[in-house]
Structure 1
Amino acid sequence: MMDLTEAGLIQLARNYYPSGFPVRTDDYSQELHPYQRTPEYARWRAAWTQALVWPEWKELLRELRGPFGNSFADCTQPWGKACRRCCVYVERPLPGGARWVIQVAAAASILAPLYVTYCTTTRVEHRQHRDLHFSFEPLEEVREQTAQLALLVEHVLGYQPFPLQLANVKVPGIRVSHIGEREEATLLDALFDDDLANLP
């Protein structure tokens, strides 16, 4: 079991993201920006290299086929964020040919044995997605799928749930390239993604 305290997770994030390299220090005349020449960034790249050949992830995708058939997908966006993601699709018809699409997702950090589950819902009408809603709390109708997905992540990957009460804890000064120049990164940004709702 890892240290799931606020201090422990902040220290973990600092291990993979350099401090003191705001966006304005980027040097486009060089092959690598200054922050990309740090030991922290090298560790982040190494974590992604390992995550792309992760045999347990391939096993997880095989295991998902049992309970979910073909209604799941690998939603990973390699190199951009700090997690691998998969989701299960649940659809419900609506009047007039529209439908609700619920995505039950799991994000597994590539930096620590931690995961989060969450749901997005959207109304699809004439191939247009409308009314996107995101929640860490699953809708009643997909609680079973969410629990199944969480159990598989824990069993196959050996991961434990990320403490959501620490999601918005700031990690001052670190350069998390996938959040750009906006305000300080949070633990959720650094260990997972700044836009978990962005699913294919």
Structure 2
Amino acid sequence: MTLPGDSTLTEHGLEATGRGRILLIACGALAREILDLKTANGWDHLDLTCLPAKLHLYPDKITDAVREAVQTHRADYDDIFVVYADCGTGGLLQAACTEMGVKMIEGPHCYSFFEGNARFADSGDDIGTFYLTDFLVRQFDAFVWKPMGLDRHPELRDMLFGNYTKLVYQAQTDDPGLTEKAKACAARLGLPFERRFTGYGDLESALAGL
């Protein structure tokens, strides 16, 4: 993964210079899934640069970070695709992408496009559902437990999660170890557990369209 201003990592070395290449500017939380899809499908024309996954804790910073990354890399690529959904930007990211003439993945957030935006809209889930992906299961302490202060004040759990009705683990891979860890995360939050094998959902179809 790289940050804006760094060389972009490709399977052919550093710095893409050839024509016909597409740069994916993605959330770092999606890096592993995107690299797996690239390898499985032979998408050697797609290069990847990632912004820090922790930007999701500060969604007001996502739009400016994406804008900077597009400006940094635009001259080196025939096309750029932003692998963020709205992700709490309130439409500002979409407006910026439209202004810059680049496309982005559809959906309100990654939980929606992993499940498939159409299926997610029909799922009946509401704000009482807490979601985890493979990434968030692996990084539960760093991205959920500690940022919410539960490592220091576990008594906050009931206040923060008392109105949730379940935890849904959207599994991108069929990994029994991750499933057990996800169950443990649900237990720590005091929530009923549900596992859904989503695979890569609309992320895969969006990248295939490139």
TM bin, normalised by shorter chain, reads under 0.3
Structure with the higher strand share, 1 or 2: 1
Question: TM-score normalised to the size of structure 2?
Answer: 0.21
Question: TM-score normalised to the size of structure 1?
Answer: 0.22
Structure with the higher helix share, 1 or 2: 2
Higher relative contact order (CA 8 A, sep 6+): 1
